[in-house]
Amino acid sequence: ANNANNDTSSNSGGGKKKGGQKKKNRKSASSNNLASQQVEKCPPFGDDDTPLDQVHAFYEFWIHFESWRDFTLKATKETEHDVEAADSRDEKRWMKQEIDRKVKKMKKEEMARINLLVERAMSADPRLRREKERVQNEKAAAAEAKRKEEEAKAEKERLEREKR
């Protein structure tokens, strides 16, 4: 049964408790965590006609992705350490450190797996290949134009020297 002090279903902070005190706006722990994490929505992968800025936004999301997976339970099972059954606090501390090391290793492996997947997807994406070719062609065209301009300038200087 709800009592007046723990009731969160009524007004959001505007009601009064017994004794004239204002009731605080209380949120559940999960809603507090969700609000503080600022979870971004993944941009869609798109199709062949998707604008490049959206394609780049998709890959930027995954390049900077931080996994929210928690490997603590899996690491505890793999290390087979029962922290609660430790004989001393030193042994307990050592067990926790071993589990934390395993968690960090698992997290690192997870991020490496995701990064490899992103790199493979980027290298195989025909939209990015076309963009890369376009940029290379523009650079080549600019270099060719500069070379022709320099040749023309050199030819002009040569002709002026011959006139003298």
pTM of the shown model: 0.59
pLDDT, tens digit, 9 for 90 and up, residues 10-55: 444 444 445 555 445 444 443 444 344 455 688 888 898 899 999 9
Asked if residue 23 lies in contact with residue 13, where contact means CB atoms within 8 angstroms, the answer is yes
Task: Give burial (CB, 10 Å; 0-12/13-18/19+) of 35.
Answer: exposed
Task: Give burial (CB, 10 Å; 0-12/13-18/19+) of 33.
Answer: exposed
